[in-house]
Amino acid sequence: MAALEPGAEIEPLSVTPDRYLTVRYAGASGDFNPIHIDEHFAEEVGLPGTILHGLYSMAQVARAVSEAGGGPQSLRRLNVQFRGMGLPEHELTVTGSVTAVNDGVAIVQAVCTQQGKAIIRNAEAEVQVD
């Protein structure tokens, strides 16, 4: 774990959700919208297939920034902008950097990309560092 100081980059997080992740996540979250679990339905409404739950992608941002802070207990606040659809079986990558540290709390700006497109951007997290 690198020191969280202004200008420091967090360790990038890459994860490739398997084709069944959306079904498992639907069960865990209670969000059974058919665009997440029914390939045929998703295609009928103009999507390329089932899409990831936005909150799954956000969870990967939370995971990356909290790991930078030493674990989930370090995450104090997270705000994101959803900007695209994530797809199963394609790698998600979360990157970010520390913009400030005030009173033991690091401000981390992050982005989650897939296939060169930001699906979450302008993510801002507060991470306890002391």
Structural domains of the chain sorted by starting position, each given as residue range(s) with its CATH number in brackets: 13-128 (3.10.129.10)
Residue with tokens 């069960």: 27
Kindly state the average pLDDT of the residues 53-67: 97
Q: What is the pLDDT confidence band of residue 130, given thresholds at 50, 70 and 90?
A: confident
DSSP string, 8-57: PBPPPEEE---TTHHHHHHHHH----HHHH-HHHHHHTT-SS----HHHH
**What does the mean pLDDT of the chain come to?**
96
pTM (predicted TM-score)? 0.94
Angle at which helices 21-29 and 54-68 cross, to 10°:
90
The gap between the terminal CA atoms of the chain, to the nearest Å, is 14
